[in-house]
């Protein structure tokens, strides 16, 4: 099939009314959950996983990528309105967005966040289109030894970038790999490590694990916080914050000159976000803080950062949104997700019969090209709809959690059940909810855990295939040039990151605590 024919079919699929409607719904849903503190895009995608396997792959992926993009901008709304980031990725936006709102410029600040978000997002989406295919073609040449080296690189990256505790990042990745190993041997399919427990036979289904770890654990946290708030309200020691008025100040406008004045910071954010997004498991929060620090150094108004500088909103917002498209690049090219959200999108692809990795371009060409087009236009949907609905979103961010949490909880429980009409799924989901909460309480990051869980079986398969081909000679892992290249860049990366992070210690320490 020629490229022209593929593109024609992909354009036809992408611009079907249903595809556009699902992407639009995704963006609206994403901005809404992002705007509400406590709800995140990860959580929304995890809860929707059981539902998306019933619909066409184009619609499902459009919906999920829409949520991913929308939630990145949505997080800035409550960050600017109340100084409470809607998502961890928007924590850096609080630094200047909230002071600007207090000075009487909440609308300007939110529109700056929106325009920078969309710029960063479009930049990384274009790179997604142009980088993924060459990287995928390179990956086809990989054998098991090269893939094993790539997995080692991914684990090293995710651990090194987790500055708050690299040891805990490594532990989270290892426990993810350990849990992924339970149930069945990825090479022979034989039952193993079940500890004699029926529930463990065949391993854990991906949906209950993801929904439990991301959504249920977060809901338990929200439940505890709401209960604490309820007690404080009864004691009369807390009051509700009022919804921000966006029309209070007639001077509070966003003009084209503001966009150009902050363009340098937006570009810095876009480049940093894209680079960080491509690296496996590096969070959008770290991208936001890193770009904030770099934009501050590069700006003439560096001293104004933290007091309400528009550039201080532009850089982190461009960076966190730029991680969206970029984190899908390694997922499609190598089957290794660039972020926890990309891991969830990868799980949705697998449910749709699309296996992320180098073969995806030969097996699902039309779907992937359609996906590229949807990724691009979803950014503009975000711009259009969010520009229109900002006043509404500002009100939504104060929605009462007593209504939301119970409804989301029932949606998650029953959604998990209906994927296979199995009580086991519900039990596994609830158990992983408790397990995810334990990880959160130990301050272990969920990103490395999910990455370990997803790539663990492939990592084992490539290791065993390599050893089996060489008669159990461990040195086979270090003989192929591409594998050696990955080990070298792992070492270089570790050295560079230690050097860079030590230089920007103060700024990055904040990013770690928010990730």
Partner 1 sequence: MIDLRNRNKNDIYCSLVMTLIGAVGIINTFMSTGWSKATGEATKMFPRLISALLIVVAVFLLARTLFGKNQAQQSENSPVRLWHIIVFLAIGFISFEIVVRVGPAVGILICLLVLINLFDAEPKKHIVANSIYAIIATAVLIVIFTKVLPIVTISKILF
Which parts of 399-418 interact with partner 1 (CB under 8 A)? Answer: 401-403, 405-407, 409-411, 413-415, 417-418
Q: Is 195 in the site for partner 1 (CB under 8 A)?
A: yes
Which CB sits closer to partner 1, 6 or 84?
84
Q: Is 491 in the site for partner 1 (CB under 8 A)?
A: no
- Give the Cα-Cα-Cα angle 25, 345, 198 (nearest 5 degrees): 120
Contact in structure between 344 and 49 (CB atoms under 8 Å): yes
Residues with Cβ within 8 Å of residue 166, at least 6 apart in sequence = 159, 160
The tokens describing 296, both together, are: 């501050």
What does DSSP assign to residue 366? H
Q: Is 246 in the site for partner 1 (CB under 8 A)?
A: no
Which CB sits closer to partner 1, 414 or 496?
414
Which CB sits closer to partner 1, 165 or 470?
165
Q: How far apart are CA 363 and CA 40, in angstroms?
A: 32
Q: Is 493 in the site for partner 1 (CB under 8 A)?
A: no
Q: Is 505 in the site for partner 1 (CB under 8 A)?
A: no
Of 345, 367, 371, 348, nearest in space to 419 by CA: 348
Q: Is 48 in the site for partner 1 (CB under 8 A)?
A: no
Q: Which stretch binds partner 1 (CB under 8 A): 2-10, 349-357, 358-366, 428-436?
A: 428-436
DSSP, collapsed to helix, strand or coil, labels residue 192 as strand
Q: Exactly one of 11, 18, 388, 434 binds partner 1 (CB under 8 A); which one?
A: 434
User: Cα dist. 49→42, 58, 64, 295, 424 in Å?
Assistant: 11, 14, 9, 37, 17
Which CB sits closer to partner 1, 111 or 181?
181
Of 465, 365, 402, 441, nearest in space to 240 by CA: 402
User: Cα dist. 426→120, 204, 213, 331 in Å?
Assistant: 39, 11, 13, 28
Q: Which stretch binds partner 1 (CB under 8 A): 96-104, 136-144, 170-178, 264-272?
A: 170-178
Which CB sits closer to partner 1, 121 or 460?
460
Of 10, 51, 35, nearest in space to 414 by CA: 51
Using CB under 8 A as the binding rule, the residues of this chain from 3 to 32 that contact partner 1 are none
- Number of neighbours of residue 235 by Cβ within 10 angstroms: 8
Q: Is 190 in the site for partner 1 (CB under 8 A)?
A: yes
Q: How far apart are CA 85 and CA 321, in angstroms?
A: 15
Using CB under 8 A as the binding criterion, the count of chain residues that bind partner 1 stands at: 71
We find the least distance from the C-beta atom of residue 194 to partner 1, in angstroms, to be: 4
Using CB under 8 A as the binding rule, the residues of this chain from 219 to 238 that contact partner 1 are 219-221, 223-230, 233-234
Which CB sits closer to partner 1, 20 or 174?
174
We find the least distance from the C-beta atom of residue 192 to partner 1, in angstroms, to be: 5
Using CB under 8 A as the binding rule, the residues of this chain from 49 to 108 that contact partner 1 are 50-51, 54
Mark 353-382 as b/e (b = at least 16 C-beta within 10 Å).
Answer: ebebbbebbeebbbbbbbbbbbbbbbbebb
Q: Is 496 in the site for partner 1 (CB under 8 A)?
A: no
Q: Which stretch binds partner 1 (CB under 8 A): 98-106, 127-135, 430-438, 501-509?
A: 430-438
Q: Exactly one of 237, 239, 362, 421 binds partner 1 (CB under 8 A); which one?
A: 421
DSSP, collapsed to helix, strand or coil, labels residue 132 as helix
Which CB sits closer to partner 1, 299 or 458?
458
The tokens describing 23, both together, are: 């992407």
Using CB under 8 A as the binding rule, the residues of this chain from 448 to 467 that contact partner 1 are 456, 460, 463-464
Using CB under 8 A as the binding rule, the residues of this chain from 365 to 404 that contact partner 1 are 401-403
Of 40, 108, 26, nearest in space to 381 by CA: 26
Q: Exactly one of 18, 438, 474, 491 binds partner 1 (CB under 8 A); which one?
A: 438
Q: Is 469 in the site for partner 1 (CB under 8 A)?
A: no
The tokens describing 232, both together, are: 């404080």
Q: Exactly one of 152, 243, 426, 497 binds partner 1 (CB under 8 A); which one?
A: 426
Contact in structure between 511 and 286 (CB atoms under 8 Å): yes
Q: How far apart are CA 206 and CA 219, in angstroms?
A: 19
We find the least distance from the C-beta atom of residue 200 to partner 1, in angstroms, to be: 7
Q: Exactly one of 137, 191, 253, 359 binds partner 1 (CB under 8 A); which one?
A: 191
Q: Is 198 in the site for partner 1 (CB under 8 A)?
A: no
Q: Is 204 left (phi over 0), alpha (psi -120 to 50) or beta?
A: beta
Which CB sits closer to partner 1, 158 or 322?
158
């Amino acid at each position: 099939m020629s490229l022209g024919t593929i593109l024609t079919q992909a354009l036809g699929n992408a611009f079907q009314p249903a595809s556009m409607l699902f992407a639009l719904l995704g963006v609206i849903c994403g901005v809404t959950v992002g705007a509400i503190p406590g709800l995140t895009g990860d959580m929304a995608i995890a809860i929707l996983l059981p539902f998306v396997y019933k619909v066409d792959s184009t619609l499902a992926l459009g919906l999920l990528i829409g949520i991913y993009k929308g939630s990145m901008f949505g997080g800035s709304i409550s960050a600017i309105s109340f100084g409470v980031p809607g998502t961890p990725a928007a924590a850096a936006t609080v630094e200047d967005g909230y002071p600007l709102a207090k000075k009487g410029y909440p609308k300007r600040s939110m529109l700056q966040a929106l325009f920078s978000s969309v710029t960063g997002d479009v930049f990384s989406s274009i790179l997604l289109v142009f980088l993924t295919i060459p990287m995928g073609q390179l990956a086809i040449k990989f054998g098991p030894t090269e893939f094993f080296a790539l997995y080692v690189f991914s684990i090293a990256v995710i651990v090194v970038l987790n500055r708050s505790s690299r040891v805990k990042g490594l532990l989270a990745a290892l426990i993810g790999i350990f849990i992924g190993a339970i149930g069945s041997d990825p090479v022979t399919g034989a039952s193993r490590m079940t500890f004699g427990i029926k529930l463990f036979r065949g391993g854990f289904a991906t949906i209950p694990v993801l929904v439990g770890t991301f959504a249920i654990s977060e809901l338990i946290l929200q439940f505890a916080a709401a209960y604490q708030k309820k007690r404080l309200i009864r004691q009369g020691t807390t009051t509700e914050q009022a919804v921000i008025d966006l029309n209070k100040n007639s001077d509070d406008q966003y003009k084209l000159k503001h966009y150009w004045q902050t363009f340098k910071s937006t570009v810095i954010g876009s480049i940093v976000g894209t680079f960080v997004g491509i690296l496996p498991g590096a969070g959008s929060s770290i991208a936001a803080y890193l770009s904030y620090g770099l934009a501050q150094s590069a700006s003439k108004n560096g001293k104004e950062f933290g007091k309400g500088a528009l550039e201080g909103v532009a850089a982190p917002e461009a960076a966190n949104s730029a991680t969206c498209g970029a984190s899908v690049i390694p997922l499609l090219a190598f089957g290794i997700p660039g972020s926890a959200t990309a891991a969830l999108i990868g799980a949705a692809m697998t449910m749709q019969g699309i296996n992320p990795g180098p073969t995806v371009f030969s097996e699902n060409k039309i779907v992937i090209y359609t996906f590229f087009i949807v990724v691009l236009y979803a950014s503009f949907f975000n711009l259009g709809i969010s520009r229109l609905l900002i006043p509404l979103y500002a009100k939504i961010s104060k929605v009462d959690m007593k209504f939301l949490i119970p409804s989301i909880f029932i949606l998650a429980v029953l959604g998990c059940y209906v994927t296979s009409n199995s009580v086991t799924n519900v039990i596994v989901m609830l158990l992983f909810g408790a397990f995810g909460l334990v990880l959160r309480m130990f301050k272990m990051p969920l990103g490395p855990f999910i990455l370990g869980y997803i790539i663990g079986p492939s990592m084992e398969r490539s290791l065993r295939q390599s050893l089996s081909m060489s008669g159990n000679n461990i040195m086979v892992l270090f003989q192929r040039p591409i594998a050696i290249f990955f080990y070298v860049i792992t070492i270089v990366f570790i050295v560079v990151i230690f050097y860079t992070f030590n230089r920007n210690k103060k700024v990055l320490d904040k990013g770690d605590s928010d990730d």
